[in-house]
Structure 1
Amino acid sequence: MSTAELHTLTGAYALHALPEDERVAFERHLGACEACAQEVRELSATAARLGLAVSATPPPALRERVLRKITTVRQEPPPHGRGARPTSSARRAGRWSTYALAACVAAAAAFGGVAVWQNQVAQDARQETDRAQRHNEQVARVLTAPDARTTAADLGDGARGTVVVSRSVNKAVFLASDMAHPPDGKVYQLWFDEGGTMRSAGLMNPAATDDAVLMDGPLDRASGMGITVEPAGGSDRPTSAPVALMEFETA
């Protein structure tokens, strides 16, 4: 994707509407383009205000509507006379009324279950969207910080790594491009280097060759970072030779 095309993605990025590959490419571009960074900040603020302006309360649940409908099903009257036996037509009508009521109850239960399931799915989707939005906002905050500093390194086999740090935000973002997949059962783990002591800074997505990772934990006194190959789930301390060691830009 050309630089000219990247300049046109600010609106889609602010609305979290970019596919994964374009999002990663744009975030790499965002770290070096102050014009796009400023536009993203302005568009994100506008989108947030518009979202608040159009918020609305959802309609009542389907389950409640079905339960109200059940109350309108007419019950068959009892047969006339204390000892009277119901006619065959009355018995059939009674059975059908019972079946109808049972069907309504079953429908209410089913619709109630579907409503609960749909509500849970919607809540899960909202939570996932919220997590992605918070991640993107934090990444953008680091990349667009006035004191953001960038360091890039060749990771071998055509792979490229870039780390952006902001002391004012106290966070770092690692951007990877064309990284080889780790071996089966392994994962790339990121580390903050604090005077030779390595502190875990999170795991990369083993399925992604291009990735934008908000490094876990505060920047604090870290002066650099490292990448190692670790067992799935990560390690408490590095267990392999580093794939890369990068010093943070300080000026």
Structure 2
Amino acid sequence: MTTVDLHRLTGAYALHALSDEESVSFERHLAGCEPCAQETAELSATAARLGLAVAAPVPPALREHVLRRITTVRQETPGTTVRVSPVRAGLRAGLLSRWALAACLAAAAALGGTTVWQHQQAADARAEARQASRSADEIAAVLAAPDARTRAADLAAGATGTVVVSQSRDKAVFVVSGMARPPRGKVYELWFDDAGTMRSAGLMDADRGDQTVLMRGNVDGASGMGITVEPAGGSTHPTSTPIALMAFPG
């Protein structure tokens, strides 16, 4: 493995995606490469914040429901082989799928305050889950990109922010910790800085101080990003002085 190859493994190492042999080689490389050591530390911190941002407690009712249902399922005798007809196999697969969906919807209901047994709410939860899954996949792809670069900064009121940029994917991810709630009726909006012209990059969740946001749109040569306080729903251009400006890592 060449030195150039090792320089490209910072993201994969931070996400524990290397084989044992590759990890050993990369750790030897880290001992003598300060840029890779710093980048790996920043990516590891970003990945940890990402995990915290998407973590959610399991609702107590879900555990009780699963334990109650377990008592109705007969356990197979060890060492026996059960032949299942294609029809029964299909029914069993469908049942498992429904159980998996019910568990996902129960978690979504705990977060959103809706009931999973109402058809419309269930449909909405499924759509939101699909969107969240796509967003999480894109975030993970940016963090794991070989050319991912990070820059961290202290924000107002003790908050900290880290931006991760991948030029190959033309995307940016913003990770924030300890962000104060915006004023009532307001929201934080992210912006790409295109040589002094601000381009909207989406809204932050006003109810979460710790979050990971896939910035909307492509980086497209932007030199940095900004955060402003905007009316609920966001604005097409900044209406307030930025509360934070960060240059993208080179």
TM-score where L is the length of structure 2: 0.54
Distance 1:179 1:221, change over 3 A: same
Contact 1:31 1:144 in 2 (8 A): no
Contact 2:226 2:246 in 1 (8 A): yes
In the alignment, residue 244 of structure 1 is paired with which amino acid? Answer: A
Q: Corresponding residue for 2:221? A: 221
Q: Corresponding residue for 1:161? A: 161
1:32 corresponds, among 29, 40, 43, to 43
In the alignment, residue 213 of structure 2 is paired with which amino acid? Answer: V
Q: Corresponding residue for 2:73? A: none
Deviations 1:207-226 (A, max 9, x none): 11111011000111111000
Contact 1:30 1:143 in 2 (8 A): no
Spell out the pairing of 1:4-153 with structure 2 (5 A cutoff): 32-33=43-44, 56-57=93-94, 120-153=120-153
- Superposition deviation, residue 119 in structure 1: 5.2
Q: Mark the runs of 5 or more structure 1 residues left unpaired by the alignment.
A: 1-5, 9-28, 41-53, 60-116
Deviations 1:165-201 (A, max 9, x none): 1011111111110011100011111000011110000
- Superposition deviation, residue 156 in structure 1: 2.1
Q: Mark the runs of 5 or more structure 2 residues left unpaired by the alignment.
A: 1-13, 17-39, 52-89, 97-116
Distance 1:126 1:174 in 2: 25
In the alignment, residue 198 of structure 2 is paired with which amino acid? Answer: M
In the alignment, residue 173 of structure 2 is paired with which amino acid? Answer: V
Distance 1:118 1:156 in 2: 42
In the alignment, residue 202 of structure 1 is paired with which amino acid? Answer: G
Q: Corresponding residue for 2:100? A: none
- Superposition deviation, residue 204 in structure 1: 0.4
Deviations 1:41-71 (A, max 9, x none): xxxxxxxxxxxxx993469xxxxxxxxxxxx
Deviations 1:217-242 (A, max 9, x none): 01111110000111111111111111
Distance 1:248 1:228 in 2: 17
CA RMSD of aligned residues (A): 3.1
Deviates more, 1:133-142 or 1:121-130: 121-130
Distance 1:210 1:118 in 2: 30
Tell me the secondary structure at the aligned position of residue 205 of structure 1: coil
Distance 1:174 1:7, change over 3 A: closer
Q: Corresponding residue for 1:3? A: none
Q: Corresponding residue for 2:59? A: none
Distance 1:249 1:125, change over 3 A: same
Contact 1:30 1:144 in 2 (8 A): no
Contact 1:148 1:165 in 2 (8 A): yes
Distance 2:238 2:226 in 1: 9
Distance 2:176 2:247 in 1: 16
Q: List, as ranges, runs of 4+ consecutive aligned residues in structure 1 with deviation greater than 2 Å.
A: 54-59, 117-126
Q: Corresponding residue for 2:241? A: 241
Structure of higher CA gyration radius: 1
Tell me the secondary structure at the aligned position of residue 153 of structure 1: strand
Contact 2:15 2:144 in 1 (8 A): no
Tell me the secondary structure at the aligned position of residue 140 of structure 1: helix
Distance 1:224 1:130, change over 3 A: same
Deviations 1:81-113 (A, max 9, x none): xxxxxxxxxxxxxxxxxxxxxxxxxxxxxxxxx
Size of the aligned set, in residue pairs, is 152
Spell out the pairing of 1:134-213 with structure 2 (5 A cutoff): 134-213=134-213
TM-score where L is the length of structure 1: 0.54
Contact 1:31 1:143 in 2 (8 A): no
Tell me the secondary structure at the aligned position of residue 133 of structure 2: helix
Distance 1:240 1:169, change over 3 A: same
